[in-house]
Amino acid sequence: MRAGLINEQKIFSGKQLMDIYQSVNDTFEAGYELSDAEVEQLSGIQAQIEAVIPDINQQIYEMTEESLRKSQEQSM
């Protein structure tokens, strides 16, 4: 990107990747009827993200905990 060979708008940020990953998790947990091909495709997306952010589940957990903590502080 620094050399200008890759358009910055074509790269997802870490936060965007975590949002995508979590959206796939939500899709699986929602109980939608997905074909085997759809499950495979979504699982593949998650695997690609895990390769870029190996501790993604820990980061999502920490973000969720922080968000809950802030929410509780605001309600007090």
In contact, 45 and 52? CB cutoff 8 Å: no
| pLDDT value, residue 25 | 94
Residue 3 confidence class, pLDDT cut points 50, 70, 90: low
* Residue 25 maps to a domain: yes
Comparing 47 with 13, the larger pLDDT belongs to: 47
- 67 is in which domain, residue-wise? 12-75
Query: Which pTM does this prediction carry?
Result: 0.75
Q: Report how far apart, in Å, the C-alpha atoms of 61 and of each of 8, 17, 18, 70 are.
A: 28, 15, 11, 14
pLDDT, tens digit (0-9, with 9 covering 90-100), for 19-44: 999 999 999 999 999 999 999 999 99
Q: Could you give the number of structural domains in the chain?
A: 1
Let me know if residue 46 belongs to a domain.
Answer: yes
Question: pLDDT tens digits for 41-58?
Answer: 999 999 999 999 999 989
Q: Could you tell me if residue 68 is inside a domain?
A: yes
